[in-house]
Amino acid sequence: MLISEKVANERVNSPSNLSVRFGRPPAPTSEPHVEILPNPRAGKRPELPGFLKTTMAILHQSGAGTQAEVAEVFGTTQAEVSHIENGRSDKGLDKGAIEAAQSEIRDVAMKKLLGTLGLLTEDKISKCKAGEISTIAANLSRVVEKTLPKDTGPGSGGVNITIYAPQPRDEKSYKTLEV
């Protein structure tokens, strides 16, 4: 929709215009003033050091907080933590340290799981409180399962789909029937 210069000036100087209502003087009517401001979000954020990325990955993967909470502690964005976790920002990331931390967490959970399972004696199973111990064991087994490395290769139990494309054939390869 195109409007005339007269209508544009009326709109700019109208008392219902928010810039006039909040005290900012209207733009001069003879020649509009255009100011180009730099975009504060333009440009790339500086790359985080590898040790910070590693620490953020360990904290989030160990369940110490959500992506947003970890990002707030380190003064970065939730998206950056997500990129680190998904492997899109792994420059300088010490994967060995992350695996070692996960292994340590897994070992502690496994020790506690085995200790909890050892507490399920015949006496306790016959009492009502055995359900609580069973719940603890189930929760610890989920901790161990979630900290195990994810294997997504063939033979990992996932669904593998193989599609074979048909071979292109020439007309000469078909039988000809004359009627």
Q: Which residue has the higher pLDDT, 37 or 69?
A: 69
Mean pLDDT of 37-63: 75
- Residue 85 belongs to some domain of the structure: yes
Domain closes at, from 30, 61, 93: 93
- Residue 167 belongs to some domain of the structure: no
Do 108 and 137 lie in one domain? The reply is yes
pLDDT at residue 28 greater than cutoff 60: no
Averaged pLDDT score across all residues of the chain: 76
> What is the enclosing helix (H) or strand (E) of 102?
helix 95-118
Write out the residue range of the structural domain in which residue 75 sits: 47-93
> What is the enclosing helix (H) or strand (E) of 131?
helix 130-147
pLDDT at residue 155 greater than cutoff 70: no
pLDDT at residue 32 greater than cutoff 80: no
CA distances from 93 to 16, 24, 65, 124, 139 (A): 55, 50, 19, 47, 30
Both tokens of 72, joined, read: 């707030």
- Residue 132 belongs to some domain of the structure: yes
- What pLDDT does 30 receive? 62
pLDDT band, residue 24 (cuts 50/70/90): low
Mean pLDDT of 119-132: 70
Do 60 and 87 lie in one domain? The reply is yes
- Residue 11 belongs to some domain of the structure: no
Q: Which residue has the higher pLDDT, 1 or 174?
A: 174
Do 118 and 83 lie in one domain? The reply is no
List pLDDT tens digits, range 108-119. Answer: 888 887 777 777
Q: What's the number of domains the chain is made of? A: 2
Do 57 and 79 lie in one domain? The reply is yes
- Residue 160 belongs to some domain of the structure: no
pLDDT band, residue 45 (cuts 50/70/90): low
- The region of weakest confidence among 83-92, 146-155, 168-177 is 146-155
pLDDT at residue 106 greater than cutoff 70: yes
**Contacts for 137 with CB less than 8 Å, ≥ 6 apart:** 113, 116, 117, 120
